[in-house]
Structure 1
Amino acid sequence: MSIFALPVLVLAVLAVHTINVAALPQVLVYTKTAGYRHESIPIAVQTITSLGNGSLTLPSSAIDPSISAVRWSTVNTEDETRFHNLTFLSQFDAIGFVSTTDQDPPLTGTVLDDQGLRNFARYIEQGGGYFGIHSAAATLFGAPFYGRLVGAYFDYHPQIQNVSVKPVDASHPSTSRWPADGLRIYEEVYNFRSDPRNLPSPAHVLVTNASTFSDPGVNPQGFRNGTNGPSPHPLAWWRQGGLLDTNSSTDASVSGVGGADIQAAGGPGRAWYTSLGHDVSTWQLDLFRGHVAGGIGWVLQSSTARSAHGGSSNGSTGTSSQDTTPASSSAHSLRPARLHLPAMAVTALVVTLPGLSVLVAQIRIPV
């Protein structure tokens, strides 16, 4: 005979199998700066957090339908010691560098120390996802594995100005809603030290710029390693698999060992980068918000993401015992629990609210 234990005012659930409630994907947003600090960082963090928890909704004209229902929990930090614990990093489906900056030249300031670099490289090698926004490409110049991860290092930009940026690939969820003739924004147009399409796992360009803007640079719209690069000039791109790979043809700016003598290769996950996002006004545009949501959502949909495997970590172990549980921006969570006792199987569904756990249903069935 079945015995049902139910709290008052809670709906009974009759089932003979475990109730599976998937945990929200977890996103770590890193915003430490050692060089220039962008005024847009607070609104960037707020936007990413609000897109993730659903408090910021976009019109269907601004966000791809494959992304509109994707939700995630956001943790923001500028504490580089968080990267000292690989167990902590492994709880995240994706780690985003948002307007981070190093000092270059000279290399007198950086956003991760050697221990953090090693753990971050291992996180990517084990399938972790990555997204970078704006000056994320002006970060960790002394660690070439990161240059390969982001795709290319920042070189220079002309004076900030009104510019048209247009989609190259309208099939990707981060650009599918952009008009073919482009988006007019007040932005810095980045030039890069190398072409991300020349990596062993080449970048797929998503966004380029129209030619109607001023760039008095010595090598406008080119790359430091040679003459003007192939068209279209890359401003945003995606990559999948082989994120840290290098070969004999890889540009010198992103090849080699670099920081802490780190040997890093592979990386089966997804990476997405956009050079846009300098100005606060850019983050107020729905089409740009949809661009960011599409990039993050696409990274989270990788088969290597933690949440794609029932929320388990990617199998790493931490280098210290601190920071083993990330704070969550989500208002509540659902978690399934299963307990095996003699002669019965117990399945419990627990709702966790801030400071309160409520047993929704406990079903005991003789076995």
Structure 2
Amino acid sequence: MLDNANTFRLITLLLLSTLVASSLATNARVLIYSATADFRHDSIPTAIQALQSKQSSFGIQFENTEDKAQFTDQILAQYDALLFLDNTGEVLDDSGKAALQKYLNLGGNYIGIHAASDCLRNTTFYGNEVGAFFDYHPALQNATVDVIDASHPSTSMLPAQWHVQDEMYNFKTDPRAIGATVILSANESSYVDTGTHLGQGTPHPTAWFQEHGAGAEDNGSSGRSFYTSLGHLNETWQDELFLAHVFGGITWTLQSNTTLAFNASAQVGNPPASTSNSTSSSSTSILPTPSSSSSAIISCPSIDKFVAEFMIVIVAAYFPWLFRS
């Protein structure tokens, strides 16, 4: 049982860690791309709204577009990550694919959600970046997803066996073959699937990450890649546990140290607010005029890292007993 001093110490340290976490928030900028050329998920607007509703809590600027003309070298270079959301079919032309390839080569980060593995099927580098192409899924039903790696920020909050209602995707290849680490696995005994899937490996991959995305031509200097196959229903995007999973993947991806939000020497990304001369209004001018308030951009300026470190030093100097065991 904690005595009063230890209780106060614990509360103080928790408050300090919260303050430091908020102080280290970045001005990371993420482009959500939700264009579709085949099947279209009706949960796309719900997903975008859910992501943007939490952006200020994570120090992220989410912008969204379905205009493939936005895939140019100049425009993509302003983002710390590209988030492909439920894309299907050929959603980029050749010039857009070339711009995406260059962005990845320069250290840009990639995030893919649900049907993002079902687009650009004839583009090898995109398949490598997402990790594997979608094959098929059985009927929407209740299923259990097993946590394979609970140490990752996208899975640390999940129960060991996560009960969901979603589509259990099967994939044409094993993402582990190109270096991905699988962190969630569909428990095949928990649902009905009468199809045949041979190439995806075991355990059944459901979500994974790549420390260096394999879509870059030199993946030794590439950014990170994160993919989750969950997220079919509108209701899923209203579930806080699922959103914690997604944001865990997004924040992990952004911390690649290969973009300007975290690395002043990077070649792509959005510089911290303290060093950037751009404003929110100028950053939106490259995108189509938002059609609704859900497309608005919220600027989340960060507090300089030095301030956070200075606060820790001051607290340690004047209240050293807080840090003693």
TM-score, normalised to structure 1's length?
Answer: 0.66
> What percent identity do the matched residue pairs reach?
41
Q: Is the 8 A contact 2:26 2:262 kept in 1?
A: no
Q: Which runs of 5+ in 2 are unaligned?
A: 1-23, 270-280, 286-295, 305-325
1:294–1:311: structure 2 CA closer, same or farther, 3 Å change rule? farther
Match of 2:67 among 62, 74, 79: 79
Query: Residues 81-126 of structure 1: CA distance to partner in whole angstroms, max 9, x if unpaired?
Result: 000x211111100001010111xxxxxxx10000000000100010
The separation in 1 between residues aligned to 2:256 and 2:54, in whole angstroms, is 19
Question: How far 1:312 sits from its partner (Å)?
Answer: 6.6
Work out whether 1:194 is the aligned partner of 2:162.
no
Q: Is the 8 A contact 1:87 1:324 kept in 2?
A: no
Q: Secondary structure at 2:284's aligned position in 1? A: coil
Query: Residues 169-211 of structure 1: CA distance to partner in whole angstroms, max 9, x if unpaired?
Result: 000000001111x222211101101001011xx1111111222
Matched length? 259
Work out whether 1:100 is the aligned partner of 2:87.
yes
The separation in 2 between residues aligned to 1:314 and 1:230, in whole angstroms, is 34
Question: How far 1:48 sits from its partner (Å)?
Answer: 1.3
The root-mean-square deviation of aligned C-alpha atoms, in Å, is 2.5
Q: Secondary structure at 2:262's aligned position in 1? A: helix
Query: How do 1:202-241 and structure 2 match up within 5 A?
Result: 202-210=179-187, 211-219=189-197, 222-223=198-199, 229-241=200-212
Work out whether 1:329 is the aligned partner of 2:316.
no
Question: How far 1:332 sits from its partner (Å)?
Answer: 6.2
Work out whether 1:142 is the aligned partner of 2:131.
no
Q: Is the 8 A contact 2:182 2:209 kept in 1?
A: yes
Q: Is the 8 A contact 1:132 1:272 kept in 2?
A: yes
- Determine the structure 2 residue equivalent to 1:356: none
Q: Is the 8 A contact 1:41 1:98 kept in 2?
A: yes
Q: Is the 8 A contact 1:131 1:299 kept in 2?
A: yes
Work out whether 1:128 is the aligned partner of 2:108.
yes
- Determine the structure 1 residue equivalent to 2:255: 301
Q: Secondary structure at 1:296's aligned position in 2? A: helix
Q: Secondary structure at 1:115's aligned position in 2? A: helix
Match of 1:174 among 154, 159, 171: 154
Max radius of gyration: which structure?
A: 1
- Determine the structure 1 residue equivalent to 2:7: none
Q: Is the 8 A contact 2:210 2:224 kept in 1?
A: yes
Q: Which runs of 5+ in 1 are unaligned?
A: 1-20, 55-69, 103-109, 224-228, 246-263, 316-322, 337-367
1:22–1:297: structure 2 CA closer, same or farther, 3 Å change rule? closer
- Determine the structure 2 residue equivalent to 1:256: none
- Read off the aligned partner of 1:206 and give its amino acid letter: I
- Read off the aligned partner of 2:209 and give its amino acid letter: W
1:126–1:155: structure 2 CA closer, same or farther, 3 Å change rule? same
The separation in 2 between residues aligned to 1:214 and 1:123, in whole angstroms, is 40
Q: Is the 8 A contact 2:128 2:213 kept in 1?
A: no
- Determine the structure 1 residue equivalent to 2:290: none
- Determine the structure 1 residue equivalent to 2:133: 153
Q: Secondary structure at 2:235's aligned position in 1? A: helix
Q: Secondary structure at 1:171's aligned position in 2? A: coil
Q: Is the 8 A contact 1:88 1:325 kept in 2?
A: no
Q: Secondary structure at 2:63's aligned position in 1? A: strand
Q: Is the 8 A contact 1:205 1:238 kept in 2?
A: yes
Q: Is the 8 A contact 1:53 1:329 kept in 2?
A: no
Question: How far 1:166 sits from its partner (Å)?
Answer: 2.1
Q: Secondary structure at 2:146's aligned position in 1? A: strand
1:239–1:161: structure 2 CA closer, same or farther, 3 Å change rule? same
Indicate the structure with greater helix content: 2
Work out whether 1:47 is the aligned partner of 2:5.
no
- Determine the structure 2 residue equivalent to 1:89: 76
Q: Is the 8 A contact 1:130 1:271 kept in 2?
A: yes
1:172–1:333: structure 2 CA closer, same or farther, 3 Å change rule? closer
- Read off the aligned partner of 1:94 and give its amino acid letter: A
Match of 1:276 among 227, 230, 243: 230
Question: How far 1:230 sits from its partner (Å)?
Answer: 3.6
Indicate the structure with greater strand content: 1
Q: Is the 8 A contact 1:51 1:71 kept in 2?
A: no
The separation in 2 between residues aligned to 1:237 and 1:195, in whole angstroms, is 11
TM-score, normalised to structure 2's length?
Answer: 0.74
- Determine the structure 2 residue equivalent to 1:243: 214
Work out whether 1:29 is the aligned partner of 2:9.
no
